[in-house]
Amino acid sequence: MALNDAPPFGPVVNGTMVVVFWEYRPSNAAAYIFLALFGLATLGHLIYLLWLRAWIFIPFLLGGICQIFGYLERSVAHSYPTILGPWILQNMLLLVSPPLLAATLYISHGRVATALLHGTTTATPKNNNHRGCCGCCCCACTCTPATTLYILADVVAIFTQLIGTVLPASGTPEAQRLSKIVVLVGLLAQLVALGVFVVLGCGRLHARLRRDPAAAGSAAMVADPGVNWLGYLVVMEVAAGMLIVRSVVRGAEYLEGSAGVVARHEVFVYVFDAVPMLVVMVGFLVLYPARLVREVGRLEARGKREGAEAGGFVELRGV
């Protein structure tokens, strides 16, 4: 097998390139920059996960790790653009990471919605100290039927994209065509889930609380100017928007094929994939959902304490 030294890159057999890996030589500098940025963001999420015991962020953490190793493989591909391993691994890791981030987004939104609308007495187990976003038994509370459907769509996206990225390794035209179809099915499933989530999840909760804050089970939380509950909802909406943009551009890449505009220009990978995913990770660091749920619990505990003190004062006056 001969290896070519100029774009497009891919294995050449008998003078014919059987698979096009790259239409350009991947940038080493850009790969290392985003490797470092995702490394810092993932480290921040690891610290938050352990500190707040926010176990629902484990998929999110795994998504960050996928981003790190995905860009590590792109840096390796800079020196070895005709080798199969780096091409498949970076493609697989960067395709699988967003559904992992989305899974935590769905569960976090359900957790926050439950806390805002019904309070933490129904959102957290008995004797929870509100330090963490949830324990194992809390996860069941956040998995509403809608959240379960979103996650199922994510599972479909993960498995189809894993399968779709491996298929081209055979080098046959049939495998490449099937790979495109399988990956597009996964991207479509993710897009549908995100679209429904934005309209029926984020949009409906946001509109409800803006229209009638008193409808919240934790009215003190919504009314407290020191707690930026609206900011948390906006971060989730922006995260969903970033995931949608990324999926649309990735879908366009697979629809066009290796000769398309997206596949031939590396800038699309960084502007419409790396940057949106970094925005999602940083956004959840700035306004971490577990902190909002903890604030709900803190305000509820304070309200109960003040109510008990007021009740005791009335009893003393009665005496």
Residue 162 is predicted with a pLDDT of 92
d(CA 244, CA 179): 21
307 inside domain: no
Residue 214 is predicted with a pLDDT of 61
d(CA 278, CA 281): 5
Burial state string for 181-202 with b = 16 or more CB within 10 A and e = fewer than 16: ebbbbbbbbbbbbbeebbeebb
- pLDDT tens track for 279-314: 999 999 999 988 887 777 676 666 566 555 555 544
Terminal CA-CA length for the chain? 97
pLDDT at position 167 over 50: yes
pLDDT at position 95 over 60: yes
Nearest to 97 by CA among 59, 57, 147: 59
48 inside domain: yes
Residue 215 is predicted with a pLDDT of 58
Which of the two residues, 141 and 217, has the higher pLDDT score? Answer: 217
148 inside domain: yes
227 inside domain: yes
Q: Do the beta carbons of residue 142 and residue 110 sit within 8 Å?
A: yes
| Domain CATH for 37 | 1.20.1070
Tokens of 202: 């984020």
d(CA 115, CA 29): 43
d(CA 101, CA 113): 18
Q: Do the beta carbons of residue 130 and residue 120 sit within 8 Å?
A: yes
13 inside domain: yes
Q: What is the mean pLDDT of the chain?
A: 82
Q: Where are the alpha helices (DSSP H) in 197-288?
A: 204-211, 219-223, 229-256, 261-264, 267-269, 275-286
50 inside domain: yes
d(CA 72, CA 66): 10
- pLDDT tens track for 72-91: 999 999 999 989 999 999 99
* Residues ≥6 apart with Cβ < 8 Å to 293: 111, 112, 115, 120, 123, 124, 130, 133, 134
313 inside domain: no
**By percentage, how much of the chain surpasses pLDDT 70?**
76
Q: How many domains does the chain have?
A: 1
- pLDDT tens track for 229-247: 788 899 999 999 999 999 9
Block residue for tokens 């610290």: 47
Q: What residues make up the domain containing 280?
A: 2-302
DSSP strands (E only) in the chain: 2-3, 11-13, 16-17
Residue 132 is predicted with a pLDDT of 42
Lowest-confidence segment of 3-12, 23-32, 105-114 by average pLDDT: 3-12
Residue 208 is predicted with a pLDDT of 80
Q: Kind and range of the H or E element at 57?
A: none
Is the sign of the CA dihedral 124, 128, 134, 140 positive or negative?
negative
Residue type, 246: R
**Taking the model in full, what pTM does it have?**
0.84
Q: How confident is the model at residue 176 (pLDDT cuts 50, 70, 90)?
A: confident
**By percentage, how much of the chain surpasses pLDDT 90?**
52
- pLDDT tens track for 177-228: 899 999 999 999 999 999 999 998 888 888 887 777 665 555 555 556 566 7
319 inside domain: no
Q: What value does the mean pLDDT take over residues 147-154?
A: 89
* Residues ≥6 apart with Cβ < 8 Å to 270: 30, 34
Residue 80 is predicted with a pLDDT of 93
Measured between alpha carbons, how far is residue 16 from residues 13, 20, 97 in Å?
5, 10, 33
Q: Do the beta carbons of residue 139 and residue 56 sit within 8 Å?
A: yes
